[in-house]
Amino acid sequence: MMIIPAVDIKNGKCVQLVQGKPGTEQVVIENPVEVALGWQTRGASVLHVINLDGAFGNSGENLEIIEDLIRTVSIPVQLGGGIRTKSYAAKLLNMGVNKVILGTLAIENPEHVNELSNEFGSDRIIVALDSKDSRVVVKGWTEKTESSVPELAELFENKGAGGILFTNVDVEGLMEGFDVRPLLSLLEAVEIPVIYAGGVTSLDDIKKLSQTSVYGVVIGSALYKNRIVFEDALAYQD
């Protein structure tokens, strides 16, 4: 299981939000590039970078910072947030992003997943399925669909996605742990790698995840608030 630090960027800074809501910043660090380099120095094998301004509608915001971050670190970067068109996804992949994370774009245009997978390789395409009240939500978690995570995961596996990022919005950023059952249902539905995010607060949570077949876990607030020591979490990395 991969231990993946989150670097969420908003207004040019590294932040942590509660349940993705603007105005709930609990951690604000001035230089996201230095933060990313710090995780690499401490042993991270991959970084999870989210352009929060992009997720909230301003895709071009923070792009220079993201380019600088990719040039500075030597480990792979998976990037999401505001990737609303196939051409923008292609631009990011050509820019050096290792994997793009597609949310709203994938759900509104599933064929784009197939097209991007064919052009760049399925291993570079992750589909984000964010769940609130057992339904997938889109557009920065502001709109709820009628679909469940397992059914959409099966669809995107068939469309050529190389992985699924599953975020449990109900517990994201609350630092209260999580229910593993929705993840287990997803893992039963697909064979492609699944990365989990949401509510990971303690080493016990990481241990619980390590006992499943999940490919990786994204950790944000718990690392930035020192609830989990990154080096201790790496003990559970395969």
Per-domain residue ranges of the chain: 2-236
Determine the pLDDT at residue 23: 62
Which residues, other chains included, contact 175 with Cβ-Cβ below 8 Å and sequence gap of 6+?
199, 201, 221, 222, 225, 227
Determine the pLDDT at residue 24: 61
Determine the pLDDT at residue 178: 84
The catalytic position among 53, 68, 130, 238 is 130
Determine the pLDDT at residue 191: 98
Q: Scan for tokens 């589909």, then name that residue.
A: 127
Alpha-carbon gap, residue 134 to 165, rounded angstroms: 15
Backbone angles phi, psi at 104, to 5 degrees: -55, -40
Determine the pLDDT at residue 12: 93
Determine the pLDDT at residue 16: 80
Give the chain's residues under pLDDT 70.
18-27, 58-59, 134, 139-142, 171-176
Residue 130 annotated as catalytic:
yes
Residue 123 annotated as catalytic:
no
Q: Which CATH number fits the domain 2-236, given the four candidates 3.20.20.70, 3.40.630.10, 3.90.1150.10, 3.40.640.10? A: 3.20.20.70
Answer yes or no: are the C-beta atoms of 149 and 167 closer than 8 Å: no
**Cα–Cα–Cα angle for 32, 53, 108, rounded to 5 degrees:** 125
The catalytic position among 8, 68, 170, 238 is 8
